[in-house]
Structure 1
Amino acid sequence: MTDETPPLALDIDGTLTDGTGRLDPRAFEYLQAWDATVVLATGKAFPYPVSLSHYLGLELTVIAENGGVVLADDTVSYQGDRERAQAAADAFVERGGDIGWGSFDAINEWRRTEIAVNRSADEELLRSVAAEFDLEVFDTGYAYHVKTPGVEKGTGLRAVAETLGRDPDDFVAIGDSENDVSTFDVAGRSFAVANADAAARDAADAVVEGSYFDGTASVLESLADE
C-alpha cells in the first residue's frame, strides 16, 4: 500500500459476506492490511458494525441504520427520530400490522433511530401509517425501514468525512443494495458486486464480476495495485 491508499466505505451484508450471509473469513486479512480508514456502512443496528469493527481490528468508524447513526473519531451523532419511528410502529401494530420478528425482536432491540419491519408485513398499511408520522419506508431488500426522511448512508458518509477532515470524494464505496446508492453518489468511486440489485448496479461506477466478498476482494486488490 502507498500513502495514496484510499479510505473505504463498505457495506456489510452481501458485500463482506458469502452467499449464505456469513462473514467471509478473508475479510480479516484484507481489511486489517488496509492502510487507510475503513468505514463499515450498514442498515443494521448500531452495535453490529461497532462489534464487527472491533473484531476486525479496525478503528471504530461506522455508519449504521442507513445513516441514522454515525461514529467517527470517538464522536457519535444521531440523524433520525427513534421515538417517532416507534410511535409509528406501535400505531401499525394497533391497526393489525405485524413487525414480524417474533417475541424477542433482536432486529430492533438496539436500534437508535429507526424501526425495521419484516418484509412479510402489510406494506400498504405500513406506508400509510408512516406517512401520518411524516416518516418514510425504505425497502433494503432485507426489511422495511421506517425512518426519518432524508437520512441515508450517503449523508452518513458526508458526516464521517467532515469529522475526519477528508473530502467525501476521497472514499471508495463498495456495496450491493439500493441503500448503497446514496453512498455511491457521495464517494469518489463506487463499485457494485455482481450480486447487487438493479438500483445499486445502475448507480455504481462499475459492476465487478465477482459476487459477495469475491467481488469486494477483487476491488481491493485492484486498488492496492494502483
Structure 2
Amino acid sequence: MAIKFIALDTDGTLLDSNGKILPSTKEAVKKALDQGIKVALCSGRPIAGLKHFMDELGIVGPDQYAITLNGAITITADGQVMTEDLVSNKFYRKMYDFGKKHHIPFNVVSPDSKIITGDHDVDLMIYTQAYENSATLYIRQPDELPADFEIAKGCFVGKEQLIDQWEEKISQEFEKDLYVVRADSCFLELLHPGVSKGNGLKELTEKLGIKPDEVMAIGDERNDLTMFEFAGTAVCMGNGSPVAKEHADYVTASNDEDGISTAFEKFL
C-alpha cells in the first residue's frame, strides 16, 4: 500500500549531530510534499521548538501537521489545535513535590510552549531545553499559578547518571497514573496516561482518513516505539538506540549520513 503520511522524529532523526537539517533531507521532504504525501514532525518538543524547522522544510498551512510533546498535542502548521491531552494540576504538584524532596531538577511544559520550573537554581538542562525550543523560561512555584493550571508534560532532567539512578523509582511512583517515558539520556518525561507518539499519530491519521499501512514513522529512541508499533512501516536511524532498532522494520543510515533521504528513496 502506498505511503500517504510520514511521521518524523526531530532530535537524532530529522536533525544531524549539529542540530541542523541535512540538504538531502530537505530535498527528500520537498519531493514527498510535492507528491501530496503528508510529512509531520512527531516530537517531544512543543510547537515553538518545531515551527522554524517546519518552515525550513515547507511544512506549512492548514493541511500540514505536527505531533508535539510526545503526542500530548497535535496541531496544524498554522496553529489550530486538533487534539489535546493534558496532565491535571494535582499530578503536576505531585511531580513538583517529588523533585523538590529528592533534589531532582524538574520543569513542566505548558500547552502554549512555556517552560516553567520552581527551581531558582536552574539546572543547565532546563536552560538548554528552553533555548532549543525557542521557549520562554519562567520560575514559578505551583502556588503562583492558577489552581486549575494543567501541563502538557513534566520533565525530570539532569545528567544521565542522575536519571539512571531515579528512573525506576519515578516510574514506580507515577506509572499507575501517568505515561512515563525516557525521551533521551537526560530527560524522563511524564504525560497524560493516554498520551504517546503512537496515539497522537493514530488520532491524527484517523481524522485524516489515513490507514496505518499508509503511514511510515522514522525515529531513533524509546519514545518512538509507540509510533513504530502503529505505523505500517517503521524505520530506525542508524544512530538509534538498540531497543529502537529491534522494533523497526528497517534500519537506515545515521542522522549524519543521509538516513532520512535513504529511507524515503527505499519506501516512496
- Equivalent position to 2:87, from 60, 64, 81: 81
State whether structure 2 residue 52 is matched by structure 1 residue 51: yes
Deviates more, 1:174-183 or 1:214-223: 214-223
Instruction: Give the Å deviation of 1:72.
Output: 4.4
Please give the alpha-carbon distance, in whole angstroms, between the structure 2 residues aligned to 1:55 and 1:158. Answer: 26
Please give the alpha-carbon distance, in whole angstroms, between the structure 2 residues aligned to 1:12 and 1:133. Answer: 28
TM-score (norm 1): 0.83
2:10 alignment partner, SS class: coil
TM-score (norm 2): 0.71
Contact 1:72 1:163 in 2 (8 A): no
Residue 236 of structure 2 is matched in structure 1 by: 192
Q: Which amino acid is 2:199 matched to?
A: T
Please give the alpha-carbon distance, in whole angstroms, between the structure 1 residues aligned to 2:105 and 2:39. Answer: 36
Please give the alpha-carbon distance, in whole angstroms, between the structure 1 residues aligned to 2:171 and 2:209. Answer: 40
Q: 1:223 to 1:67 in 2, by over 3 A?
A: same
State whether structure 2 residue 143 is matched by structure 1 residue 139: no
Structure 2 residues not aligned, in runs of 5+: 107-122, 138-149
Residue 255 of structure 2 is matched in structure 1 by: 212
Q: 1:198 to 1:102 in 2, by over 3 A?
A: closer
- CA deviation profile, 1:80-127 (whole Å, cap 9, x unmatched): 316345323321343133223356861685895102222434625961
Contact 2:25 2:260 in 1 (8 A): no
- Equivalent position to 1:66, from 57, 70, 86: 70
Aligned residue pair count = 221
Deviates more, 1:114-123 or 1:131-140: 131-140
Q: 1:31 to 1:215 in 2, by over 3 A?
A: same
Instruction: Give the Å deviation of 1:7.
Output: 1.7
Please give the alpha-carbon distance, in whole angstroms, between the structure 2 residues aligned to 1:178 and 1:222. Answer: 24
CA RMSD of aligned residues (A): 3.0
State whether structure 2 residue 42 is matched by structure 1 residue 41: yes
Please give the alpha-carbon distance, in whole angstroms, between the structure 2 residues aligned to 1:158 and 1:11. Answer: 15
Please give the alpha-carbon distance, in whole angstroms, between the structure 2 residues aligned to 1:185 and 1:116. Answer: 24
Structure 1 residues not aligned, in runs of 5+: none
Contact 2:73 2:81 in 1 (8 A): no
Contact 1:136 1:146 in 2 (8 A): yes
